[in-house]
Chains A and B, each alone.
Chain A
């Protein structure tokens, strides 16, 4: 049996375990042991700002995705089967379009001469085109778009398991629909909220393509810091240290979340 897993395991060991190990080593070793790279990451302004910005954006994206995703999952759950399948299909549809294609689409929609600005000018709502892209706003709009399915799917899966009788019981005991929702449905859907939020937050922490293409160079997220240190500045040690801190954050989040819900639940949706 071990012989059967060994080809796959070998690929994983050589192409992800070894490279990540290499990064960790490179972050602490340069002509001898050094913590210089980590000192820079934690004290220098650019690094610090980038980490703070990345966490802020990830937090904002997660909250927006939750606010947008919860009603959709709730509606899909409450409708008859045919309708809920249609809604879920629409949610998953963009999921299977390349991230690059969607970045292109958002550029087409949001840029100065883009569809939305043209439309708003046609309606005479604005006289000057709005700056919708090449800034944090554009990054957030496109990132939420890409990550929303990761929120809706676990929410829907959790809501499906909530027995409808409980809501009826609540109603029969005299609670209003909104009270039954707040006291019964919402608490029972929390594992799905946690699973969805974890996935969206963690994926957002490492996002690269969208902020690079839609951020306009001003929204420097951690992943861009890594790539710039490698490609532009040849600062391999610094890049490695940033990567290690990012990975440690992701693993720490997974670890904390795993105390509350099973990790399969989080990863199973991907």
Chain B
């Protein structure tokens, strides 16, 4: 090891600064949310829960929270089976077209989200899905699918399809052998994929900006509007809650992925 060479020291210092740059903004929100000050002051003058009270007492924020959670749950409920079925088919089938289909399912990651958002807005405007719950859920299912497909495909890679063949040769039909043999073994990646789809639906903002409205506006849309107009520490409280929620979900997902 070239321990104390100047280059090595520079490397440590630069990396430390970059890491501070990365995590400081994530850490700064919680103290603001517990501060009593109306404007952003740091360090906070005194501890207070008023911004959390404002959040929980405000019907508009509560309605938005309900919309977000409903959309996220419904998204997982639809995207997970769709994604699992697709990933299974892609991994089992030798058809050439499957490669094209595989790429197509990853399109939501490739197309810039603003383009997807405007495109969906135009299509929804024609069929009357703008500012509706089904419209919002459907868009999030599409955006969440790649996460499920990628996660389940990764899980299927370490699964030996011969086991399912054995089950079938012993008289189980394809469906039963999938549920009895395959699914239990890839369960962790299915759950992880579902969790990522949930987080993606919870955080999605840009599509919601275009297609949601009225009483069906998710939290992110209201937060965006609030941030554009004025900076209110209520958003720090919501942000803190959202961050804690998604960290817990990520920990759950990665514990799942490791613990197989």
- Is there contact, CB below 8 Å, between A247 and B111? yes
Cα–Cα, bound, A1→B88 (Å): 8
Do B23 and A98 touch across chains, with their CB atoms under 8 A apart? no
What is the bound-complex CA distance between A111 and B19, given in angstroms?
22
Please state if B112 and A17 are interface contacts (CB–CB under 8 Å). Answer: no
Known contacts A16-B108, A93-B26; A208 and B113 CB within 8 A of each other:
yes
A130 lies within 8 A of chain B by Cβ: no
Chain A residues with CB under 8 Å of B109's CB are 267, 270
Nearest to A75 among chain B residues (CB) is B15
**Minimum CB–CB distance for A102 against chain B, Å:** 6
Q: Please tell me which one of the listed residues B25, B107, B113, B120 contacts residue A102 in the complex, with CB atoms under 8 A apart.
A: B25
Q: How many A-B residue pairs have CB under 8 A?
A: 247
A22 touches B123 (CB 8 A): yes
Write out, one digit per residue, whether chain B residues 144-160 have a CB within 8 A of any chain A CB (1) or not (0): 01000110000000000
> Are B82 and A100 neighbours in the complex by a CB distance under 8 Å?
no
B47 at the interface (CB under 8 A from A): no
Instruction: List chain A residues, Cβ under 8 A from B115.
Output: 20, 23, 206, 226, 243, 246-247
Q: Which residues of the other chain, B, contact A50 by a CB distance below 8 angstroms?
A: none
Q: Is the CB of B122 within 8 A of A113?
A: no
List residues of A (67-121) whose CB comes within 8 Å of B's CBs. Answer: 68-69, 71-72, 74-75, 87, 90-91, 93-94, 96-109, 111, 113-115, 118-119
The 8 Å CB contact of A98, one of B21, B22, B105, B243, is B243
Distance (whole angstroms) from the CB of B184 to the closest CB of chain A:
19
A230 at the interface (CB under 8 A from B): yes
Q: Is the CB of A12 within 8 A of B250?
A: no
Give the chain A neighbours of B89 by CB distance below 8 A: 1-2, 4-5
Evaluate contact between B119 and A22: CB separation under 8 angstroms. yes
In the complex, whether A8 has a CB less than 8 A from a CB of chain B is yes
The B contact surface, by secondary structure, is helix
Q: Are B22 and A8 in contact (CB-based, < 8 A)?
A: no
Residues of A within 8 A of B85 (CB): 4-5, 7-8
Cβ contact within 8 Å between B101 and A15: no
Instruction: Encode B102-131 as 1/0 by CB contact (under 8 A) with A.
Output: 001111111111111011111100000000
Chain B residue contacts of A145, Cβ below 8 A: 21-22, 25
Q: Quick check: is B246 within 8 A (CB to CB) of the other chain?
A: yes
B139: chain A residues at CB < 8 Å are 15
Give the complex CA separation of A101 and B226 in angstroms: 12
Assembled-state Cα–Cα distance A68/B82 (Å): 39
State which of B56-64, B186-194, B202-210 sits at the interface with chain A. Answer: B202-210
Complex Cα spacing A101 to B2, Å = 41
Q: Pick the contact of A108 from B32, B112, B223 — CB < 8 Å?
A: B32
Assuming A101-B242, A102-B26, A103-B227, is B86 touching A5 (CB within 8 A)?
yes
On chain B, the residues within 8 Å of A100 by CB distance are 203, 205, 220, 223-224, 227, 239
- Contact call A243/B22, Cβ cutoff below 8 A: no
Contact between chains at B223 and A105 (CB < 8 Å): no
Q: Mark A232-270, 1 if CB is under 8 A from B, else 0.
A: 000010011001001100110010000000000001101
Check B206 against A97 for contact (C-beta < 8 Å).
no
With A105-B28, A109-B24, A250-B110 in contact, do A11 and B138 touch (Cβ < 8 Å)? yes
Q: Kindly state the separation between the CA atoms of A178 and B138 in the bound complex, as whole angstroms.
A: 53
A208 CB to closest chain B CB (Å) equals: 5
A261 to chain B minimum Cβ distance, whole angstroms, is 16
The CA-CA distance from A98 to B40 in the complex, in Å, is 20
Q: Is the CB of A113 within 8 A of B224?
A: no
With a cutoff of 8 Å between Cβ atoms, the chain A residues found around residue B235 in the complex are 104
> B29 and A104: CB pair below 8 A?
yes
Q: In this complex, what residue of B is CB-closest to A251? A: B110
Which residues on the B side are within 8 Å of A251 (C-beta)? Answer: 110
Interface set of A (CB-CB < 8 Å, partner B)? 1-2, 4-5, 7-9, 11-20, 22-23, 26, 68-69, 71-72, 74-75, 87, 90-91, 93-94, 96-109, 111, 113-115, 118-119, 145, 148-149, 177-178, 202, 205-206, 208-209, 212-213, 223, 226-227, 230, 236, 239-240, 243, 246-247, 250-251, 254, 267-268, 270
> Which 3 A-B pairs give the minimum distances between C-beta atoms?
A206-B112, A19-B119, A105-B25
